[in-house]
Structures are given as structure tokens and as C-alpha cells.
Structure 1
Amino acid sequence: MRRNSLLVIILGMIQFNALAGNFTLESPSFQSNSMIPAQFTCAGTNVSPPLNWQGVPPNTKSLALVVNDPDAPNGLWTHWILFNIPPSVNKLEEGTAIPQGAATALNSWNNAIYQGPCPNLGAHRYVFTLYALDTVLDQQNGTATNDVLDAITGHVIENAVLVGLYQK
């Protein structure tokens, strides 16, 4: 299943680069491919950064946000997964509560919360991928990461990517 999870992430990045359409994800706190402010990391208050998006495809039934560190020494490390975000939602405030109707999957620490960047050595990339899905996932709060990523597979209409960098 870990292989499927990595495949979803890679396909998402490829699809984003190929489409580069109107579906965009950004943060007012950092630009793509720039440093994530410390307050959103383990060195700060470790709260989720504010995010906003636009151009959600018209047939979207739900959104899923996946935050991964592809540079972790033991392979892909998941920091946060929010899923079943209603398509009418277009932003998450800093340190936000889960939107009504949405749920959180377990991250790589086995917690159903946001846990920010905290690399041991060197700069790491943190890939925020927002998926527009053609379905509402039949998963519950606290579901395993791979179960949610497997459920996403085959249901992605489009995605948007924001990459942040961080090092201690």
C-alpha cells in the first residue's frame, strides 16, 4: 500500500505540471519553493499555515489535502491529511479547525493532526497537494494514511500543489 501512496503523490505532481490550470493552492505566509515560517514548524507553535485556493473544478464532490516530506531519511513522511473538505470551502485559516464535514487521517506519527516540519538535517521540501475529487471518501476520522490515499486513487479530477522548504 505504501507504493500506492507514493504513486498517488508522484502522479499528482505530474498531473499538476501537465495541467497547470486554474486550480491553484497558495499560502499568504510563504511563496511556493520558499521557506516556511518557523511558527508552522516544531521550532515554533507547530500550527497549520493558512492556505487558500481557487479554481475548484465544477464536478468536485470533495477536496483532500495531503502534506508530505519527500526528503525524509526513511522515505515519504506524511505531516497532515485532511479529506472530505466540502468543495465550497476555499481556505483554511492558520491553526484552523477541521471544516464541517471533513476528517483527518493519521499522519506518519500516527496522530490525526497537523504536525509541522521538523527535519533532523538539511533543508527538506514539504509538498502541500490539494486534490479535487469526484467523490466523498467513505473513510472516518483517524483512518490510516494509506487507506485514504488508496481511496483517493482513481478519483482525482485535478490537483494543486504548493511546495514549502524548511531546515532547522
Structure 2
Amino acid sequence: MTTQRFTLSSPDIQEGHFMAKVHEFDGWGCSGGNVSPELNWQHAPAGTKSFAVTVFDPDAPTGSGFWHWLVADIPADATGLARGAGKGSLPTGSRSFGNDYGSKDFGGACPPEGHGMHRYQFTVWALPEEALPVPDGASAAAVGFNLNAMALGKATLTATYAR
């Protein structure tokens, strides 16, 4: 029996390609649409009981990267998130956690001007529990730790952006 690989795709962003301005943050000197891209996943590992989605910029000049979006407890029957879901239209039961902009919504790309190309890692995590075992106010680091500790699998799509 051949097992198909867990994959993440999007009609809005492409692996290794520059994102459209609609996905740029609106604030902090940026003036984009702050719209989360449509995300679709397939072939989740056996035993998946929920999903999480994160967006992380490892190139941010912070010493610890920059979290743009953290959503967990997405029901196991979900196969993606609609374009714009980051503004609060997530599947029932999903929980959002604080990003580094200080909100629980999607926060688009906004690298410092002239800082060069940044990578934005959109990752879907397949989880063996219906709920991530962290409190609602958990930090991004605590969420990331738990995702890495318990994931059955993950799929990442990395887009880029610069100003």
C-alpha cells in the first residue's frame, strides 16, 4: 500500500514566490489588504483528529522570528481555510492565539523596508487530539512547542515578501 504525502497548496500563494500586496499587513508602516490566503491540504496522516495552521517569518530581525498567525483545534474533517478566514471566519471549534502584532487574527507580511526578502512559512499541522493542550492565552512559543511535540505530520508552503 502506498501512502500519499501530506500536502499544503494555495491558489493565492506559490512555493518560493512573492506574495501579492493583498497579503501585506495594514499597519506598522504597511498598507496591504491583510487578507489571509486560501489554504488547502490533502492526505492527512492516519489518526488525525484536528489541524493547526501557523504562519511564521524566520527572517524577522527579532532574534526569535515573527509569528503572523496561529490557529488550532480545526476539525479533522476540514480540508482547508477560505481566503480571508484570518479575519475571524474560521471553522466552528477553532481557536486562535496571539500573533506578534498583538492580535488573534491573521497578520500579513510587513518586513522592514530595505531589509531584503523574507520567507513566510505557512504550515498545516495534523494532530492526534481534538484540542491542543494549551490555555487560550498561551504564547506563540508554547503553541509552537506543543505542535512540534505532538504533530503526526506537517506540510509547509513558503512564500516570500520584501518592501
TM over 0.5: yes
**TM-score bin (small chain):** 0.7 to 0.9
Q: Does residue 1:109 correspond to 2:101, yes or no?
A: yes
Counterpart CA distance in 2 for 1:152 and 1:39 is 28
Q: Which amino acid aligns with 2:139?
A: A
Letter in 2 for 1:94: R
Partner-residue secondary structure (3-state), 1:118:
coil
Deviations along 1:122-161, whole A, 9 cap, x unmatched? 1100001111111121335443212222322421111101
What residue ranges of structure 1 are gaps of 5+ in the alignment?
A: 1-20
Task: Tell me what 1:3 maps to.
Answer: none
More helix by share: 1
How many Å separate the matches in 2 of 1:147 and 1:124? Answer: 23
Report how many aligned residue pairs link the two structures: 148
**TM-fit CA distance, 1:119:** 0.5
Task: Confirm whether residue 38 of structure 1 aligns to residue 21 of structure 2.
Answer: yes
**Unaligned 5+ runs, structure 2:** 26-30
CA distance in 1: counterparts of 2:23 and 2:77, whole angstroms: 25
Quick one: percent identity of the two aligned structures?
Answer: 36
- Cα distance in 2, alignment partners of residues 88 and 143 from structure 1: 25
**Is the aligned partner of 1:59 residue 2:47?**
yes
Distance 1:51 1:154 in 2: 23
RMSD, aligned α-carbons? 1.4
TM-score normalized by the length of structure 1: 0.82
Match of 1:164 in 2: 159
- TM-score of the aligned structures, taking structure 2 as reference length: 0.85
C-alpha separation in 2, matches of 1:47 and 1:140:
26
